[in-house]
Amino acid sequence: MALRKRIKRRNFTDPRLAGLLGQLSRGSGFWKAVAKKLSAPTNSRVAVNVSKLERLGWERVVVPGKVLGAGRLTKKVEVVAYSFSQSAEQKIKKAGGRAIPIEEEFSKNPEARGLKVVV
């Protein structure tokens, strides 16, 4: 319940983010943790370069923020994130992976099976 109050109190102006946070706050514990990270102020949100995704070596990851294009990606990775830079999306697809919006993954996988959060 505290998460929903936090989301309501912040009064987000981005309708996409507000709707997504509302959905995620009703999901499993995993998705609630993602919602908590996304409800942080913009300058405190997670920003991950593709080079970090390469080093982690995970097959399916969730980035509660933005994926940036710095570095190289040679491994096939499914990346679920709030947003992607254009270069990051190109590098992920070129390596054989997929760039998936959080909304899409939440609707397909409400139990968050097989996912890990990058913070």
Predicted pLDDT of residue 60: 97
What is the residue extent of each domain of the chain?
A: 2-117
Q: Is the pTM of this model over 0.85?
A: yes
For the stretch 71-87, pLDDT in tens is 999 999 999 999 999 99
Across the range 52-81, mean pLDDT stands at 96
Between the CA of residue 97 and those of 6, 11, 67, what are the distances in Å? 34, 35, 14
Cα–Cα–Cα angle for 26, 28, 32, rounded to 5 degrees: 65
* Chain segment 7-55, per-residue pLDDT in tens: 888 888 899 999 999 999 999 999 999 999 999 998 999 999 999 999 9
Q: Evaluate whether the domain defined by 2-117 bears CATH number 3.30.365.10.
A: no
